[in-house]
Amino acid sequence: MIPTVTLNDGTSIPQLGFGTFQVPPESAVETVSTALEVGFRHIDTAQGYQNEAEVGEAIANSGIARDEVYVTSKLTNSMHRRDDVLRSFDETLEKLRLDRLDLFLIHWPVPTQFDGDFESTWKAMLELLEDGRLTSAGVSNFEPDHLQRIIDDSGVTPVVNQIEAHPFFRNDAARAASHEHAIAVEAWGPLAKGEALKDEVLQGIAAEVEREASQVTLRWHIQRGDIVFPKSMHRDRMTENLAVFDFELTDEQMQRIDALDKGEDGRQGPNPNTFDRV
C-alpha cells in the first residue's frame, strides 16, 4: 500500500507516483498502462511533455475507477497569461479525457519572461479551482522568493512545490521555504538521471539492506517526506520502484546519503532563476 501525504488544502496525494517526462507519445499508452497494471495510482504528466492524450488513453482503458487514480499535469511556459492558462487547462482536460484534474502546477516561474509577472499566472490558476474541475493548485521549480511573491500577492499558498531533488542536490533552500509555508515537496529527477544507481555509497547501503541502489534512493526520499516520481519504461523496474515500503534506512544510513549533496554543483536541470524557454 502506497502511503498518502495530506496537503494544505485537506486533500491527500499518493507519496509515490509515476513520472512521464521523456516518455514519447508513441510509447506512452503502453508505458502508463503497464505502470497502472503493476500498482501505480498517481500519474504525473505535463503540457510540455506532449503525451497528455496518451496518458489519458491509458487511464481511460485501465478500467480503474477515476477516484482511484491521482492525475497531475503542468502549465507549459508559453501559456502564462490568464486567458492562455484557462484555455490550455481546457485542452489538458480534453486530452486527458477527464472532467476533473487532481493537481495542476505552474511548471516553471520563468521570471525573465512576461515582464517577470508570474503572480498573475498564479491567480489564473486559482480561478480554475472555482468551478470544480481542478481540485488542487501548486507550482514547480519555484525558489523561495518565487513562493513568497505569489503567497504575498494572492494570500493563497500552493499545495505542492515540485523541485529537482536527489542525493547529489538536496535543494535544501527550496525545501525549507516550502515546508515553512506547509507546502509539500515533490522531487523530480529523484534518481539523478541514473547517477544514483552507480554511486558507491548508495550501492554500499543497498548491499547492507539487501536492496537495489534505486530502492535505497527512493526510500531516502520517502523518509524525508518527499513525494517522488521514479520513471521507467520497463515493467520489472516499475515493480522494483514500488517495493520501497517494507524496509527502512537507519539514521546513520540517511546521514551518509545526505552527505552526498554537492549543493548547486549537483544540480542537473535548469536553474529556475534563469530558465526562460517558452
Q: Which residues are designated catalytic?
A: 49
CA 131 to chain centre: 24
What is the C-alpha to C-alpha distance for residues 228 and 187, in angstroms, rounded to an integer?
A: 5
Q: What is the SS3 assignment for 276?
A: coil
What is the C-alpha to C-alpha distance for residues 203 and 164, in angstroms, rounded to an integer?
A: 22
The position carrying cell 541514473 is: 194
Give Cα separations from 97 to 57, 100, 184 (angstroms). Answer: 7, 9, 27
What is the C-alpha to C-alpha distance for residues 166 and 172, in angstroms, rounded to an integer?
A: 11
CA 73 to chain centre: 9
Radius of gyration of the chain (CA): 18
What is the C-alpha to C-alpha distance for residues 274 and 111, in angstroms, rounded to an integer?
A: 7
CA atoms within 13 A on the CB side of 272: 21
